[in-house]
């Protein structure tokens, strides 16, 4: 028997991410994307792959160092169009199934955001950004034609966003518009215009109608509606599909054109509201909530750190007007089937993360990208009726044969107020009975996300370093019930804190191998807030690492890109009640902190701006506390998931070193 080696932080460079499966019109062929990290270039690249669905033969189609997204077959199945940044801007490309190099189709100033083939196959609809007064006729500017620096005048609170290049400032006087390119001569025509922004959801089977989303340019700061309309291509007349407070999108026509399915949630519980699948009947003009009876959210709310470029469809129709969609429930992300008469049931097994998928027109066969706690993910062909599956891709097989991984143990326990909480416990790699091991508690962000039965490189790395790892879904996590996910709002540091500590107490009672004198805690975003809160309220932990955290709700209100509305949504107060904001701020309890605390933060994080870390660090240092502060340049809030690869490795190095020094 060959002894496997322990996982290393550099294994992040070896893990490959399989996403975006797309059936051809004949359903005998498909394409998908494989994303990997180029260690030398310190970047993410991906390639387009072809698969023969009958033989499972896989062939690489593209070889450029580029990022590809959104591959889509032409209606005749002879070509595949996709978006690529091979020439810096995201533009539309097309490759022939018969072979040859991909052909560039667009050369737009702001590049392409999304696209859809027209059913006729003669044109492609797309969305792209436009400056006020500009047209799609303008070409990409050369380097020497870049604009000079200009002052940025702010009139609204929604003026910046995490992840936007530069300083997070949203481009002013820029809107998203819809156009189409004729494939006969690559000529482009603009369909929408003006100051409002438009998104393209779907095209009717006859090509005569579009489903578009509209965001008005003068939308108030506290209005978050995404209006959906059915638009006649010839007359441009609009019919309202949904125009109410909430978040709606992913609209898709049924094959016969009668029904439109879309996913969304109202604003009853603000951003904690469960998403549902809605069906609009174009004949009766009535809408039904197809998943109203399910107390779990539609969609994928799992947190992980290896899947790259996932673009799972919100809903997929079958020819018989049945549907498939993802559902997040009790730590699983499964495909679910639904019929218009109300039947709803799972189509994939429990215990895994089905993170991307495509469905046969008859609904019987699926291509599903699946991960679980000991597999980063591969593409599988699934016979839904028989419950059988065959693995198509094997990109991570060789690595899995080489590295020892730890399978987490799932468990439930009772917290305060008889609340049932779900969690996982990982033993250290190469665990030996009779020995004592330190334990690290991991806390997810959100808070309205969930830990899941999916692969997590960071968890496996900690286990490989000789730590037990505990991670739970406290109140506020998705996947359990509407009451459960809403329970954290207005109670940050209350029931959620009790749930985490109750989980720790549970594993200490049940597992004698855990050394109660060597406990660590870490988390990012909301998990960073909770790490700060925990060390300010207990000295049980001997080391802590807080990442991209919130420390002061008063300043967060004004500096975060979402602070002015997220704060009242989550804490239940704004700047008219600074006492409540301060009560829930970990900075208030800094003098209680005795745990050595490492503070990690990205300099271009505009979700939880770095000043949150700066305040905490300077405060602790001024009080003579044991702390250190690490800043990561040129990265945003998503450093741990999609950040610069070398800095992701440095982040892991910092975490490991801190725990090694203090545990």
- Three state DSSP letters for 535-578: HCCCCCCCEEEEECCCCCHHHHHHHCCCHHHHHHHHHCCCCCCH
Output the 3-class SS for 312-356. Answer: CCCCEECCCCCEEEEEEECCEEEEEEECCCCCEEECCCCCCEEEE
pLDDT at 247 over 60: yes
**Confidence bin at 145 (pLDDT 50/70/90):** low
Taking residue 40's Cβ as centre, other Cβ atoms within 10 Å add up to 7
User: What is the pLDDT at residue 469?
Assistant: 98
Average pLDDT, the chain: 96
Say how far apart CA 505 and CA 512 lie, in whole Å.
12
508 lies in some domain = yes
Give catalytic residues, as residue numbers.
Answer: 525, 637
CA 80 to mean position of chain CA atoms: 25
Residue/partner pairs of 394-401 with CB below 8 Å, 24 or more apart: 395/16, 395/18, 395/34, 396/15, 396/16, 399/11, 399/14, 399/15, 400/374, 400/375, 401/4
Residue 49 lies in a domain: no
Cα(123)–Cα(156) distance, integer angstroms: 38
Of 165-174, 296-305, 478-487, 576-585, give the lowest mean pLDDT range. Answer: 165-174
Q: In this predicted structure, what is the pLDDT of residue 148?
A: 80
pLDDT tens per residue, range 460-481: 999 999 999 999 999 999 999 9
In the prediction, which pLDDT does 141 show? 60
Q: Is the pLDDT of residue 144 over 60?
A: no
* Whether the predicted pLDDT of 138 surpasses 70: no
Task: Check residue 137 and give its pLDDT.
Answer: 78
Question: Quick one: pLDDT at residue 470?
Answer: 99
Please report the pLDDT score of residue 133 as a whole number. 85
pLDDT of residue 149: 84
Report the C-alpha gap between 525 and 446 in whole angstroms.
7
Confidence band for 280, pLDDT divided at 50, 70 and 90: very high
Range of the domain at 610: 405-662
Question: pLDDT per residue over 500-551, tens digit each?
Answer: 999 999 999 999 999 999 999 999 999 999 999 999 999 999 999 999 999 9
Three-state DSSP at 295 gives: coil
User: Is-contact 393 379, C-beta < 8 A?
Assistant: yes
Residue 23 lies in a domain: no
The answer to whether residue 569 scores a pLDDT higher than 90 is yes
- Residue 241's contacts (CB-CB under 8 Å, 6 or more residues apart) are 211, 228, 229, 230, 251, 260, 262, 280
Q: Is 193 domain-assigned?
A: no
Provide the 3-class DSSP secondary structure of residue 438: strand
Residue 450 tokens read as 């969930």
User: How far from 235 is each of 187, 209, 210, 212, CA to CA, in Å?
Assistant: 21, 10, 12, 15
Tell me the pLDDT tens digit for each residue of 364-394.
999 999 999 999 999 999 999 899 999 999 9
CB atoms within 10 A of CB 42: 13
In this prediction, residue 223 has a pLDDT band, given cuts at 50, 70 and 90, of confident
The C-alpha atoms of residue 634 and residue 140 are separated, in whole angstroms, by: 25
Residue 103 lies in a domain: no
Number of H helices, E strands in the chain: 11, 38
pLDDT score of 562: 97
**Among 658, 518, 538, 539, which residue's Cα sits nearest to residue 598?**
658
Residue 336 near residue 345, CB atoms below 8 Å: yes
Determine the average pLDDT of the residues in 137-163.
Answer: 79
Mean pLDDT of the region 143-151: 70
Q: What is the largest CA-CA distance in the chain?
A: 77
Task: Say whether 387 sits in a helix, a strand or coil.
Answer: coil
Let me know: does 315 contact 300? Beta carbons within 8 Å: no
In a domain, 29, yes or no: no
Q: For the segment 590-625, what is each residue's pLDDT rounded down to a tens digit?
A: 999 999 999 999 999 999 999 999 999 999 999 999
Name the token pair of 100. 């040859």
pLDDT given for residue 330 in this prediction:
98
Q: How confident is the model at residue 217 (pLDDT cuts 50, 70, 90)?
A: confident
Domain of 490, CATH number, reads: 3.40.50.1820
| Distance separating alpha carbons of residues 18 and 597, to the nearest angstrom | 36
Judge whether 176 lies within some domain.
no
Mean pLDDT, to the nearest integer, of 484-513?
98
Q: Is 502 helix (H, G, I), strand (E, B) or coil?
A: helix
> Comparing C-alpha atoms, which of 257, 207, 262, 258 is closest to residue 229?
262
Residues 223-227 have a mean pLDDT of 85
The answer to whether 645 and 43 have CB atoms below 8 angstroms apart is yes
Token pair of 566, please? 């997220």
- Residue 591 three-state SS: helix
- What pLDDT score was predicted for residue 245? 87
Nearest CA to 187 among 95, 101, 92, 105? 105
Please tell me the total count of domains within the chain: 1
* DSSP letter assigned to residue 140: P
228 occurs within a structural domain: no
């Amino acid at each position: 028997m060959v002894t496997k080696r322990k996982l290393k932080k550099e294994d992040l460079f070896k893990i490959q991410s399989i996403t975006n499966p797309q059936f051809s019109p004949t359903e005998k062929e498909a394409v998908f994307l494989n994303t990997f990290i180029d260690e030398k270039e310190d970047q993410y690249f991906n390639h387009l792959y072809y698969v023969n669905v009958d033989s499972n033969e896989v062939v690489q189609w593209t070889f450029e160092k580029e990022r590809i997204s959104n591959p889509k077959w032409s209606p005749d199945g002879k070509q595949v169009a996709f978006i690529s940044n091979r020439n810096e801007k995201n533009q539309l490309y097309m490759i022939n199934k018969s072979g040859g190099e991909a052909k560039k189709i667009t050369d737009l100033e702001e590049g392409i955001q999304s696209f859809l083939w027209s059913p006729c196959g003669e044109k492609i609809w797309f969305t792209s950004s436009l400056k006020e007064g500009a047209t799609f006729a303008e070409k990409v500017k050369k380097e020497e034609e870049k604009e000079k620096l200009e002052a940025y005048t702010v009139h609204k609170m929604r003026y910046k966003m995490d992840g936007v290049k530069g300083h997070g400032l949203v481009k002013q006087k820029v809107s998203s518009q819809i156009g189409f390119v004729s494939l006969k001569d690559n000529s482009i025509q603009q369909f929408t215009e003006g100051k409002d922004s438009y998104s393209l959801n779907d095209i009717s089977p006859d090509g005569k109608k579009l489903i578009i989303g509209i965001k008005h340019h003068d939308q108030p700061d506290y209005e978050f509606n995404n209006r959906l309309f059915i638009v006649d291509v010839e007359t441009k007349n609009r019919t309202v599909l949904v125009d109410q407070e909430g978040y709606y999108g992913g609209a898709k026509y049924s094959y016969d054109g009668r029904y439109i399915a879309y996913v969304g949630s109202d604003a009853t519980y603000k951003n904690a509201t469960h998403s549902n699948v809605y069906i609009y009947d174009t004949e009766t003009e009535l809408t039904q909530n197809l998943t109203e009876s399910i107390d779990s959210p539609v969609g994928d709310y799992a947190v992980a750190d290896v899947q790259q470029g996932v673009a799972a469809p919100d809903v997929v129709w079958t020819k018989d007007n049945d549907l498939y969609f993802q559902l997040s429930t009790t730590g699983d992300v499964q495909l679910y089937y639904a019929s218009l008469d109300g039947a709803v049931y799972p189509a994939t097994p429990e215990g895994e993360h089905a993170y991307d998928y495509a469905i046969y027109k008859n609904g019987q066969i699926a291509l599903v990208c699946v991960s679980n706690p000991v597999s980063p993910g591969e593409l599988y062909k699934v016979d839904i009726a028989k419950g059988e599956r065959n693995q198509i891709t094997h990109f991570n097989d060789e690595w899995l044969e080489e590295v020892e991984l730890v399978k987490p143990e799932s468990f439930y326990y009772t917290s305060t107020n008889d609340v049932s909480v779900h969690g996982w416990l990982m033993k250290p790699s190469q665990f030996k009975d009779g020995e004592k091991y330190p334990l690290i508690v991991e806390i997810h962000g959100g808070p309205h996300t969930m830990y899941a039965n999916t692969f997590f490189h960071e968890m496996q790395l900690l286990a490989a370093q000789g730590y037990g790892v505990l991670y739970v879904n406290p109140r506020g996590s998705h996947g359990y019930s509407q009451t459960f996910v809403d329970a954290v709002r207005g109670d940050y540091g209350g029931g959620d804190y009790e749930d985490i500590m109750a989980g720790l107490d549970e594993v200490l009672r049940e597992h004698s191998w855990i050394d109660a004198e060597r406990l660590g805690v870490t988390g990012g975003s909301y998990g960073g807030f909770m790490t700060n809160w925990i060390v300010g309220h207990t000295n049980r932990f001997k080391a802590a690492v807080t990442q991209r955290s919130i420390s002061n709700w008063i300043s967060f209100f004004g500096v975060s890109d979402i602070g002015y509305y997220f704060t009242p949504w989550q804490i239940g107060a704004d700047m008219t009640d600074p006492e409540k904001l301060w009560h829930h701020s970990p900075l208030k309890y800094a003098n209680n902190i005795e745990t050595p605390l490492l503070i990690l933060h990205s300099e271009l994080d505009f979700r939880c701006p770095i000043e949150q870390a700066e305040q905490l660090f300077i405060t602790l240092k001024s009080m003579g506390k044991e702390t250190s502060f690490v800043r990561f340049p040129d990265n945003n809030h998503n450093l741990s998931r999609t950040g610069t690869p070398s800095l992701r490795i440095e982040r892991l190095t910092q975490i490991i070193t801190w725990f090694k020094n203090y545990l």
